[in-house]
Structure 1
Amino acid sequence: MAFEIGIMTFGELTEDPLTGAVPSPRRRVRETIEQAKVADEVGLDVFGVGEHHRGDFVGSAPSILLAAAAERTERIRLTSSVTVLGSEDPVRVWEQFATIDLLSAGRAEIIAGRGSYTESFPLFGHDLRDYAELFREKLDLLLKIREQNPVTWQGRFRAPLVDADVAPRADGETIPIWVGVGGSPASAMSTGRLGLPMALALLLGPMTFHEQTVDLYRESAAEAGHDVDALPISINAHGYVGRTSRQARDFMYPYFAKGMAENNHQRGKGLLLPRAAFEAQSSPRAGLLVGSSQEIIDKLLGYHELYGLNRAIIQMGFGGVPQKEHLEAIERLGTEVAPVVRREAASRSGRAA
């Protein structure tokens, strides 16, 4: 499998730590579509929009943003990152992404996850005590909808379907469905048993953070009779591609620290990230993908060697990175990083075979 590289955003509305300015929601959604357009133009493979239901994000309806991006792009794949499936209706999810698939001539995909932020559950009338079971049941229905039409299905959390016609269908044969996994052994094992692609999320920590996750995923897939070598794995991580190593770190740090302090308040009162801790997380064996183009190349190839990854999606605008610098980083990722990583990953995979 070819190595794919992309970008993602949640559309944060964060106060700029240097100027104090806060972008309007209108400005942020327009910037999001511009990011997709530039990512497509510079040859990146994937553009993702994540889902949050709070006033400091504009990503409450990723499918609408992705539909708009479909009209401004030609080749890049368009994915949710992630769809919080436990609080969604799988029928509606399928209808929305099948429509994106038609608009984009077959470029839509879904990354379904439980969601590390839980504001959508009470918002849509779900009990958080059902958090895990909601996801399992709704993933089962989403996969059933993908596999057959009309569909007959019965579960606990929604009305049954009897010969239901769920339309439209995909533009091509199918729509890829990945499962987003944050490190839960149970999630990795269930994803492996289903034979679905796994999208790993890495906020902070060492590159090796997901070694057990990947091992459990592949062991479970093999036990269930799936071809392990045919199952894609991705890493979704924060980063920034700068002109130089120092410029990248100096530029990213105040925005990333601001985002960690203000956009993570559901995990407590926000996470204070001293500069020394940020520098440690930017080191060669740590998870953040920040540095010069060559540093990002080296780290992505390190991830490829470590996990056998087939894809990396980088969130480069976290904390309200200004659009000019964000687009410059996207261009570097597409023109300076991606071609080298694809070539080297293909070469190394060929030698391994």
Structure 2
Amino acid sequence: MLTMSIELGISTFGETTPLEKTGHAISHDQRIRDLVDEIVLADKVGIDGFAIGEHHRKDFAVSAPEIVLAMAASKTKQIHLSSATTNLPTIDPIRVYEQYATMDAIAPGRIEIMAGRGSFTEAFDLFGYNLEDYDDLFKEKLDMLVKINQDEILDWPGGKFTPKVDHKGIYPRPNKPLPISLATGGNINSTIRAAEMGLPIVYATIGGKIDSFKPLTQLYRAVGEKTGHKDLPIAAHAWGWLNQDKDKAIRDYFYPTKLLVDAISKERDHWNGMTYEQYLEGVKDDGGIFAGDSDTVAQKIINMIETLGLSRFYLHIPVASMPHEDILNAIRIYGTEVVPKVKKHFQEKDEKKKLFSIKWKKK
């Protein structure tokens, strides 16, 4: 049942693409420093979570999200901090657990591992992995990570991609198991795998229509029910931008969105460059781009939560580089206006359901 406990967060990749006004990209070190400031602000204005993705390419500054998250953990008080994602196929699950367990000591109960296969593939060559093993690597390492999270003393039989571990302790240990969720761009096999394992799922709803992910969320619930995992939490993240002026927000967000889409289109056969008309389709009420003022974005988030049955939503701010002061402004609007509006809607909805239930029982 949807309740006022819905989590509303921000996700980012620490982008370093050329800015529209200058034509120059911000340096990686400056973007990382700015990113920590943005997380601190998000914490102050009441945003529930902040998630940072892992990439190994020039246009994104963050290759080690756990380092940035650790810096933010020491400077924040309540915000939930997560990767988005940790690319398991090209990293050691034991090391992943140790890093995030260490962060949990700094921010107890606020650290999550959002595990994924990775939407970009540059890390395979970089770390000496075969791209043909893309899915098998993820499955084996995800199983190992979940096992490490469950058991202090690890007995692992080993596999094609992971070594045998014979009764060894993995430390440090948090007071309780770390939250682990599975992130996917909409892969059916990942949806089924998450449901069968009882893991929360996070969908990257990039482009298209909001309701296009409904068959996947329905499949996730159905498989979960069948395998004994009821009421599994579902999350989504979507590209978005905020400004006090709705039209300005829509205008300003086109350049970075097109910049990223066009760049990815050169790398992927099934992507095409973006036109302004296509962009405006995404900005419409049923589209997957959440750009506008607080009322517009809040209503779209409400619609998405209700359509897909989400328990949390992450707004991806920004999709490609935008001025730091504009990002801070968008975060303030999100935390002080959008988050309260969305939570108020579901709080009132929940109260009406409870009132109806009481009246029905009296009858």
TM class, shorter-length: over 0.9
Q: Name whichever of 83-92 and 14-23 sits farther off.
A: 14-23
Q: Report 1:103-252 matches (<5 A).
A: 103-154=106-157, 155-170=159-174, 172-228=175-231, 231-252=232-253
- Residues of 2 paired with 1:209 and 1:187: CA distance? 17
Change (3 A) 1:125 1:104: same
Task: Please identify the structure whose Cα radius of gyration is greater.
Answer: 2
Number of aligned positions between the proteins: 350
Match of 1:90 in 2: 93
**Do the aligned partners of residues 264 and 27 (structure 1) sit closer, same or farther apart at CA in structure 2, a change above 3 Å counting?**
farther
Instruction: Describe how 1:252-267 pairs up with structure 2 within 5 A.
Output: 252-262=253-263, 265-267=266-268
Aligned partners of 1:182 and 1:201 also within 8 Å: yes
Provide the C-alpha distance between the structure 2 equivalents of 1:46 and 1:59, rounded to a whole number of angstroms. Answer: 18
Shift of 1:271: 4.4
Deviation at 1:71, TM superposition (A): 1.3
DSSP-derived class of the 1:235 partner: strand
1:11 is aligned to 14
Query: Which of 21, 25, 29 is equivalent to 2:24?
Result: 21
Partner of 1:44 in structure 2? 47
Unaligned runs of 5+ in 1: none
What is the distance in 2 between the residues matched to 1:328 and 1:220?
41
Q: CA deviation at 1:58?
A: 1.2
**Amino-acid identity (%):** 35
Q: Is the 8 A contact 2:141 2:162 kept in 1?
A: no
Report whether the alignment pairs 1:334 with 2:346: no
Aligned equivalents of 1:99, 1:342: Cα separation in 2: 32
Unaligned runs of 5+ in 2: 355-363
SS, match of residue 167 in structure 2: strand
Which string of whole-angstrom CA distances, capped at 9 and with x for unpartnered residues, describes residues 154-197 of structure 1?
22212111111111112x31211010121121211111111110
**Stretch deviating more after TM superposition (310-319 or 262-271):** 262-271
Task: Tell me the residue number matched to 1:343.
Answer: 344
Bigger mean CA offset, 260-269 vs 317-326: 260-269
SS of equivalent to 1:267: coil
* Structure 1 partner of 2:319: 318
What letter matches 2:189 in structure 1?
A
8 Å CA contact 2:221–2:230 kept in 1: the answer is: no
RMSD after superposition? 1.5
Give the conservation status (yes or no) of the 8 Å contact 1:14–1:320: yes
- Equivalent AA in structure 2 for residue 159 of structure 1: P
**Amino acid of the residue matched to residue 258 of structure 2?**
A
Change (3 A) 1:265 1:350: farther
Name the TM-score, length of structure 2 as normaliser: 0.93
SS of 1:178's equivalent in the other structure is: strand
Paired AA for residue 298 in structure 1:
Q
Contact (CA 8 Å) 1:304, 1:345: kept in 2 or not?
no
How far 1:264 sits from its partner (Å)?
Answer: 5.8
3-state secondary structure, aligned to 2:8: strand
| TM-score, length of structure 1 as denominator length | 0.96
Q: Determine if the alignment matches structure 1 residue 62 to structure 2 residue 59.
A: no
Mapped partners of 2:185, 2:60: distance in 1: 21
Superposition deviation, residue 260 in structure 1: 2.1
Task: State the Cα deviation string for residues 214-260 of structure 1 (Å, max 9, x = none).
Answer: 011000000011122xx211111100011122111011111221222
SS state at 2:267 partner: helix
Answer yes or no: is the 8 Å Cα contact 1:12–1:58 preserved in 2: yes
1:253 and 1:137 map into 2 onto residues whose CA distance is 40
Kindly report structure 1 stretches of 4+ aligned residues shifted beyond 6 Å.
none
* Residue 82 of structure 1, CA deviation: 0.6
CA 1:264–1:8 in 2, change beyond 3 Å: closer, same or farther? farther
